[in-house]
Structure 1
């Protein structure tokens, strides 16, 4: 690859070793820097363009500084692949585990992995880890289970991977934090739960209290296709689990239209947010149980713990009209 092709591929960045391979001497490189044609970004890494560096150029600079075989990883790779909307202030790269990058690199965190040849994507530019391994790297760094859940569900919700592919990648790792939780979670995501809120409802509301199993992310067709978060079709009850986006502006209008259509069709719609499901899962279970019973469910609510108010609805203050 000649110099021009290399610079185009790497967003105007080049390492000293690459410059040598293209026929430039150390003296020529130093002259390019001293004359202002190039500028030094990191030790042995130069920008051949003027003005602020793009995000991709900054990633290339970090990769070139980390050396042979290094790739973007963690939140940096996540941003490049559309898994997150904010890459953060630090560029994350992973280098092969058999060597060590000397010296501190400003604005860059270097990780090491012996399995990097297996987790590196074969063709993407800038070089990065495969999306499944990026997700698991982020899960392994998560300080809280909810953060780990967020990476798994975001990857599946944005259709960047599938629970089955993540399970395969997980099986190839000997060590990873939260393994048991992830394995159980991937089963739930495969069944349709697409966000931490939906997972929480499935586990802490429905399963924990012995409610009937709902159909998740059910596609309902009509004049307009809508998706039902949790559908108890046998009882004509639907549960919508809404984050902040669904509560304002156009989102609120669409929600009202959907609920109105469901009512016209004879369905009862219950709507809960994060505060309800995370803050009072027993109250949500008691409320759902009352509506389900009014529509033919003959089951018994199970106490999720000692003194669970869902199993003693008369002691709980939540109330609803079916």
Structure 2
């Protein structure tokens, strides 16, 4: 039973779990003194005969903060497999009245989570998927990409709004609301406004909005250089028919000798310097 538990828990075990499978407190301490078990925090241990993986690190960090702690933010996003790379600092949410200090490698958020906002995933308490998407999307630059990907594959926009409204006073809530509003309308109009703002800030001139080309109107055009810029909103709004029409339109414009650049709301919010660099390169080369 002990070996099965350690295998399922990435080599991490609590004192209470060890006692439930028959080990005494003294037996646990002997393992620690011998170096076979490593103490991660009070009452939390790692069996040091295997690699201390990201999963083990996050599990130990959460359990170090008590039975009511839950992984949140980017740590929860990684645990839900929404992101590829685990964060260096593990965000842990604990009840407001929880005692104790933050342990090394962890950042504590104090707030009372409702039962609907906590899930058990692979034996660890984490924020529920919708709340995780809403919170993690504002924890890093380019986080809107995480929300867009989740909307395409995992969750509905309504569920994200519900999770947000249940937890309005949390850290990052205003930024999350703006992102959800952008997702709700597809964010194309907002993307266009962002692009125009970036062009002005960069001091680029000679561009026109809604410029006619080959029977179509492109969002922004540099007529002299024959460079057309098209902006898109959240990818989850795009269906197959719209995708096909856009490609036909793009091919027609390209056959008239125009270079076409496409940027999404995610590009404009997450990587504005890259967007301007690409535009500069395109208009200087023609």
TM normalised by structure 2 equals 0.65
Q: Partners of 2:175 and 2:214 in 1: how far apart?
A: 29
Shift of residue 189 of structure 1?
1.9
CA deviations 1:243-283 (Å, max 9, x no partner) are xxxxxxxxxxxxxx99983446669554266348679x9x9
Q: Partners of 1:233 and 1:180 in 2: how far apart?
A: 42
Q: Partners of 1:259 and 1:234 in 2: how far apart?
A: 9
What SS does the aligned partner of 2:143 have? Answer: helix
Q: Partners of 1:234 and 1:178 in 2: how far apart?
A: 44
Task: Looking at secondary structure, tell me which structure has more strand per residue.
Answer: 2
Partner residue in 2 for 1:291 = none
CA contact (8 A) 2:133 2:146 kept: no
CA contact (8 A) 1:262 1:269 kept: no
Question: Which structure has the greater CA radius of gyration?
Answer: 1
1:1-322 → structure 2 map (5 Å cutoff): 2-100=1-99, 102-138=100-136, 147=141, 150-158=142-150, 159=152, 160-176=154-170, 182-193=176-187, 201-205=191-195, 235=216, 237=218, 239-240=229-230, 261-263=251-253, 270-271=260-261, 274-275=272-273
Q: Partners of 1:56 and 1:270 in 2: how far apart?
A: 43
CA deviations 1:22-53 (Å, max 9, x no partner) are 22111111122223332222222112241430
Shift of residue 125 of structure 1?
4.2
Shift of residue 104 of structure 1?
4.5
CA gap 1:99/1:182 in 2 versus in 1, 3 angstroms? closer
CA contact (8 A) 1:77 1:129 kept: yes
Q: Partners of 1:268 and 1:112 in 2: how far apart?
A: 54
CA contact (8 A) 1:10 1:57 kept: yes
CA contact (8 A) 1:236 1:266 kept: no
CA deviations 1:89-121 (Å, max 9, x no partner) are 212222233322x24422222222212533112
CA gap 1:184/1:95 in 2 versus in 1, 3 angstroms? closer
What SS does the aligned partner of 2:78 have? Answer: helix
CA contact (8 A) 2:182 2:190 kept: no
Shift of residue 66 of structure 1?
1.3
* CA RMSD between the two structures: 4.2
CA deviations 1:134-160 (Å, max 9, x no partner) are 233346667xxxx4xx32442223534
Partner residue in 1 for 2:236 = none
Shift of residue 190 of structure 1?
3.4
Unaligned segments of structure 2, at least 5 residues: 198-207, 219-227, 233-246, 264-271
TM normalised by structure 1 equals 0.59
Q: Partners of 1:90 and 1:185 in 2: how far apart?
A: 24
What SS does the aligned partner of 1:114 have? Answer: coil
CA gap 1:114/1:263 in 2 versus in 1, 3 angstroms? same
